Structure 1
Amino acid sequence: MVENTENQEEYMDDDFEGSFEDLFENSLKELKAGNVVVGTVVQVNPDSVVVDVGGKSEGLIPINEFLDEQGQVKTDIKVGDQFDVLIERTENENGLISLSKEKADRQKIWNALEEGAVVDGRILSRIKGGLSVDIGVNAFLPGSQVDLRPVRNLDKMLGETYSFKIIKLNKRRGNIVLSRRVLLEEQRENMRGDTLKMLEEGQVVEGTVKNLTDYGAFIDLGGIDGLLHITDMSWGRVTHPSDILNVGDKINVKVLKFDRDKERVSLGLKQIAPDPWLDVEAKFPVGQKVTGKVVSLTDYGAFVELEEGVEGLIHVSEMSWTKRIKHPNKVLNIGDEVESVVLALDIPNRRISLGLKQVEPNPWEVVGEKFPIGTIIEGQVKNITDFGIFVGVDEGIDGLVHISDLSWTKRVKHPSEIYKKGDVVRAVVLNIDRENERFSLGVKQLMSDPWESIPVRYTPGTIIRGQVTSVTDFGIFLEVEEGIEGLIHVSEISKEKIDSPKNFAKVGEDLEAVVLHVDTVERKIALSIKHLADQKEKAEVDAFLGAQRNATSNFGDLLQGALHKAGGEKDGE
């Protein structure tokens, strides 16, 4: 028995020794660079962790490989913790093995990855052609695979976590290509069938704004897109869909039309709310003062929002009683709060006419009482035109002095010969046309018309002397007095035939002539040089005869006086 026992112990010792050597050899095989083994924490230092990987071997792992999700060093590492590590080098100068926990984790992930698998990842950064994604290892997400439609601003996706599908995998090169678009397309296709089954006209559904255009917005209803036209977005004015919607917004819309065969859907947003025009007539009766915000300006007027969906137009002609407004922006700006008066309603065509000037009294209704005809006013020249000057009469009211009312006698070719802007002018109110808003003034009416006394002062036969002001083919104009001219017709220049009046006299010369005729209606004086000699002779004869008559009269008076005296003396005897 003893012998057998000793043989048995010898056999067991040999067997144990063989088993231990096998284990040691196996552990040495495992402790080769590039292998992944299980390590146990034996010591935690401030900058590293000492790990026992078996085979009487220990290694160091930098502390910065033990990070949490926030990128901070973990504080709960303790002796006895076990995890996979990658052997980088079997032994360094200190006799320790170089280990890496990160690379072991990464290799483990790589081993688990396969093409077509769905993984979660966080977008790290933008790189050329797309985005870098952390799925445990770095992967590439091409820009074309980010979404169903091109994403203009990829930066907004940084830091976000999504699900991706692996579409290319090359472990040897370490390349992974992801796609989010493939998953979205699959998801969209699954939703499409359900959406088509439940969609009905008149139904209110929730959708996501997918894309904006100038004419509307495309709304994703769940696998199928519907068009929300710009005219169906609001009862009010919408200049562009981006004014009220943004890509990604979730909104409720009403299905207006649905063509199931062509899978076309027309949507409405404004139809969810009641039509505000139904009670416009009651809310905004004609003549009522209303307040609103200027939302748009055009060449012909300003659109004012009275409430959401209800706008009125202030035409440019209804902005001022007195000023000629060339463009509404001279009076109003977009965003202004304005008070106006409702002038007219056209409910079928959804139009409201508003008046801005009607808020204030019409100055033309009282100007006649303030400035009755005949009133002398004083004002500045505001404007000069070919046909006259405009003079400021009252606030916003200008009066016109027509060129014909500037002077009784002077021929004015253009008002600028006499006046300039800013000159202070006195004038007489001639007429007020309230209906056409015209105020007529006269300057010449401040003095009497000299032509009223011309016939008395220049009777036919009167000899005058004046300066030549103009010579024409038909005669010579002679200034009789300041501003008053007479015409010596070519036939009245000489008894002898002359070639041209221009050969007879020049501008600036003094000439004598006799008055033939005065026409106060046409304001013309006909003169003659041809009859001047005859008139002078007649004047001399008249003067002579007048002298004789005076002499005879004086002689008779003397004779009668002498006789009277003689008779008196005789009576006295």
Structure 2
Amino acid sequence: MTENVDNKSTEQKLSVSKDETVRLLPDYSSMQDDEFFAILNNSLAESNIDKLRRVVKSKIIEVNNEKDYIMVDSGLKSEGIISTKEFFRSQDKTQIFEGNEIETYISSLDHCGKVVVSREKAIREESWNKIVEAHKSGEPVEALVFAKTRSGFVVDIDAVICFLPGSQVDSEVFFEGNSILGTRQKVMIIHLDTKLRNVVVSRKAVKDLSRKEFRNAFLDKVQEGDIVEGVVKNITPYGAFVNLGDIDGLLHVTDISWEKIGHPAEVLKIGQKLKVKILKFSRAEEKISLGIKQLQDNPWNNFGTKYQIGNKVKGKIVNITNYGIFIGLEEKIDGLVHMSELSWKNDAAKKLKEEYKLGQEVEAVILDINIDKHRISLGIKQLTDSPWVSFISSYKSGDVIVGKITNIIDFGIFVSLNEQIDGLVNVNDICYGIDGYVPSKYKIGDEIKAMYIEGNIETQRVRLGIKQFFDDKIENNKASLVQGKPVDCNVCEIRHDGLIVSVLDGAIFSFIKKSEAGDMFNNAQIGDKTKATIVSYNDLNKKVTLSIKDYESNAVYGSQSQQSSTIGDIIDNLDSGKK
């Protein structure tokens, strides 16, 4: 049938109407319309099938600004029409003029044989091919970040919509992701699905590559001692991280100032530009240590020559801590008065709270200077003579001292000996018999007698004793402390598992278990007097073991024995009388 088609009619343009087609092809007038158009479309499709669904060069043959479209010739048997809205890129709008060639995408032929073309699809095809090539080569491409999702961002790479996961935005912990919204960013194609045309990109990969290149270049040229500029990126209690480009350095709190700083935030703020000195760096670990104070002269260099140990100095209190006070001596140099150096008396904690305030000018004595560690130890109590020298030289071992109990703790009793000196009765020097026992009769504020045992001027300690008063009494009554003998006891304390009693008028204390306390346990009261049998006695450590139960049993047995002997004697006497 196609052989009978007039040559002139086959040269007509593809965009023909139904009436025009019938007029040009009269030999087909006897055919049904549907049959005719099927034959025509098959013919057109067969002749142009190699250009379908492909990007081809098309020439603009007409520009209609009123109706916002252009007509293009793609080398097919019909022209195509494209809306000017498909030229959405700024560089595309300059290409709209007659005679210019542009790339278009041939989608299909409609039922009239008219070519369906698209500039937008051509752009996408072109962009897709670039994305495929970029994925193969690993080269970064530019993308417009235009929307944010719950898990990342949506980006546009020349009309191809791609996904940028939140984890691939940046490797920096403190990077604010929203700052890239609406901007163009370099990204790498990290995942490509050609079938579904899904694309996943990474900004982080580009940044990491850029940072790596910068770090390598930076570390190649940098040297210890170099001075560089940076920006404070983050502040922590132990220092600040300073960004030097695409590499960070640590500015430790001790390298910020020659003065003592409690927290880096006191002198630095995020975003602050500053000059720093490179103290040291590790090429392998890519770690850089920075310093600011090293840009200034070290004030400690002259301090050691200006001041000596023992010198008196004055300064204002710049800081008060729970362990002492810091006094400003020179610019950027502070000295510490430790709590133990505030007072000769054991009242430093009270003085720290009540007597010293920030900004107060005080005088102190230099106790130690350590230039290497930048430490100066000061003392305030050294402004007056040590009371320990005169006190300790006034007493000898065995002397009796009277004082007031100021504190009772686990390891002993503190006794105030004068306004500046306290002595300690160690728990092992309070009483004999029970290790670590402090009789409940001792109360804070009570006045007691203690025996001076020894003193130490260097450690500023006076050792006192109470149990030593009973040494002679125990020695004189040693004959009565024999196993099996009864002894008089005073009840001092009642516990759930037994009684604490004293013997020899408080010379020795002993714990009697509940099982050995007998019937007395249920009715005992503090201060009660009773008797107990000595189960054992160790003269070396003055420990005695007692049993009230044994004493009660022996007392009953003795009574029964005496009663039995008396009846026998009566019977014997009766028998003698009869005789």
**TM-score, L = length of structure 1:** 0.46
TM-score (norm 2): 0.45
Q: Give the structure with higher Rg (CA).
A: 1
